């Protein structure tokens, strides 16, 4: 497995990480615990060193699952987790410094580690100055409880303010061939500041695998049921992007998912996608993308063809969309 450094921080991780959320949360019922532990351990054996979770996934059960699965590999893997949500029934955001500390202490126990490798603010809390958030994580870093500070779905001004208090190692936001908003302002900014980028949903929540069409039915508990981009009409309209990926994949003797991941890897050397999966065959397929080389000409061809396709539907329902880009 090729390795990548997240910006100027020195944090080195595998070129393809593993998003663990879907094992417990978001895409239907939680999957079989033993199977998911086996999957994560197979990922480590295949060279994956970067695993992503959060306290809200479940809540809590995903961190516990990741902690149990990766306990034998202490010091050999990088585990990222997140803070910033209220765990009460009414939900909402909570990035008060005291709460950040409480989350860190609880996550350390669930993850079975002595230090959190990468601690992200899950969503920017408009009620707490970002300087206070960065300061709280800075204290945890001084105490040896956290190694690196990250932000998720933050806007440019927030990133600058946070970075001035405690250097931000990585920004995690959605980025793929069908979600490219970060290219305009965010990617140039974090390149300037030396911050790495972690791309979640790099396969468009499964759509860019080419295995989902307008007739696909999702489980009742599947988050995609409320996502505008996943209405049958939007899926039908967005099929044009799959047709493009399929054509390139056949030329490259690869899969559409591998082309989608290779395209992200070809953007910048400090970008790391974290596709999630619960299937061994998909894990192997995703890992295979790390060895695919897209030339500059390939990337130009993909970008040129993709520019002619207008993606239909927002990536989040309105309430969740408002939590991004602050």
Q: Say if CB 15 and CB 288 are below 8 A apart.
A: no
User: How high is the pLDDT of residue 90?
Assistant: 83
Asked whether residue 301 is assigned to any structural domain, the reply reads no
Q: Is residue 235 assigned to a domain?
A: no
CATH of the domain at 187: 3.20.20.100
Task: Give CA separation, 305 vs 70, 154, 237, 243, in Å.
Answer: 41, 29, 15, 11
Q: What is the pLDDT of residues 69-90, one digit of tens each?
A: 999 999 999 999 999 999 988 8
Task: Supply angle C-alpha 241, 245, 248, rounded to 5.
Answer: 145
Residue 173 lies in a domain: yes
Residues forming beta bridges with residue 149, ordered by sequence position: 119, 168
- Closest of 68, 59, 46 to residue 281, by C-alpha: 46
Strand, helix or coil for residue 219? coil
Catalytic residue, candidates 57, 120, 175, 200: 57
Q: How far apart are CA 227 and CA 229, in angstroms?
A: 5
Q: pLDDT value at position 161?
A: 98
- Tens of pLDDT, residue by residue over 248-293, are 999 999 999 999 999 999 999 999 999 999 999 999 999 999 999 8
Task: Give 53's DSSP letter.
Answer: -
The predicted-structure confidence for 190-246, as pLDDT tens digits, reads as follows: 999 999 999 999 999 999 999 999 999 999 999 999 999 999 999 999 999 999 999
Residue 78 contacts residue 85 (beta carbons within 8 Å): no
- Asked about 200 being catalytic, the answer comes back as no
Q: How far is 21 from 177, CA to CA, in rounded Å?
A: 21
| 133 within domain boundaries | yes
Tell me, yes or no, whether 241 lies in a domain.
no
Query: DSSP letter string over 151-195?
Result: EES--HHHHHHHHHHS-EEEEEEE-BTTB-GGGTTHHHHHHHHTB
Give residue 89's pLDDT: 82
Which residues fall within 8 angstroms of residue 145, CB to CB, at 6 or more apart?
104, 105, 108, 115, 116
Q: Is there a domain that residue 28 lies in?
A: yes
Residue 85, pLDDT score: 97
Using pLDDT thresholds of 50, 70 and 90, give the confidence band for residue 41. Answer: very high
Do 264 and 202 meet the contact criterion of CB atoms below 8 Å apart?
A: yes
CA dihedral 316, 320, 321, 326 (to 10 degrees): -150
305 lies in some domain: no
As a whole number, the mean pLDDT across the chain is 97
User: Is 101 a member of any domain?
Assistant: yes
pLDDT of residue 217: 97
Query: Based on the structure, what is the number of domains in the chain?
Result: 1
Strand (E) or helix (H) holding 92: none
Give residue-wise pLDDT tens across range 305-320: 999 999 999 999 999 9
R_g of the chain, CA atoms, integer Å = 19
What value does the mean pLDDT take over residues 296-300?
A: 95
Instruction: Tell me what pLDDT residue 55 has.
Output: 98
Check: CB of residue 171 under 8 Å from CB of residue 140: no
SS3 label, residue 254: coil
The predicted pLDDT at position 245 comes to 96
CA distance 106 to 99: 11
What range defines the domain where residue 17 resides? 3-205+267-293
CB atoms within 10 A of CB 183: 11
């Amino acid at each position: 497995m090729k390795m990548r450094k997240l910006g100027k921080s020195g944090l080195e991780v595998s070129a393809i990480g593993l998003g663990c959320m879907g094992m417990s949360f978001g895409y239907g019922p939680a999957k079989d615990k033993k199977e998911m532990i086996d999957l994560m351990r197979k990922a480590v054996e295949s060279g994956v060193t970067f695993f992503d979770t959060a306290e809200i996934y479940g809540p809590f059960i995903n961190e516990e699952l990741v902690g149990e699965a990766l306990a034998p590999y202490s010091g050999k893997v990088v585990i990222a987790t997140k803070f910033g949500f209220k765990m009460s029934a009414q939900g909402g955001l909570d990035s008060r410094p005291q709460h950040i500390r409480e989350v860190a202490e609880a996550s350390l126990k669930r993850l079975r580690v002595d230090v959190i490798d990468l601690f992200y603010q899950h969503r920017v809390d408009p009620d707490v100055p970002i300087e206070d958030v960065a300061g709280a994580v800075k204290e945890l870093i001084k105490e040896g409880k956290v190694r690196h500070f990250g932000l998720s779905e933050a806007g440019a001004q927030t990133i600058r303010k946070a970075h001035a208090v405690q250097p931000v190692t990585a920004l995690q936001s959605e980025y793929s061939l069908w979600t490219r908003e970060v290219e305009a302002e965010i990617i140039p900014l974090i390149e300037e500041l030396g911050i790495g980028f972690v791309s979640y949903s790099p396969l468009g929540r499964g759509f860019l695998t080419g295995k989902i069409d307008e007739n696909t039915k999702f489980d009742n508990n599947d988050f995609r049921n409320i996502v505008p981009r996943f209405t049958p009409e939007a899926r039908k309209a967005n099929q044009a992007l799959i047709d493009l990926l399929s054509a390139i994949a056949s030329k490259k003797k690869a899969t559409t998912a591998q082309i989608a991941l290779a395209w992200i890897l070809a953007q910048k050397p400090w970008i790391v996608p974290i596709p999630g999966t619960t299937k061994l065959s998909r894990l192997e397929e995703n890992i295979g993308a790390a060895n695919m080389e897209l030339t500059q000409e390939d990337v130009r061809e993909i970008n040129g063809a993709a520019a002619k396709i207008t993606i239909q539907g927002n990536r989040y329902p309105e309430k969740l969309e408002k939590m991004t880009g602050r």
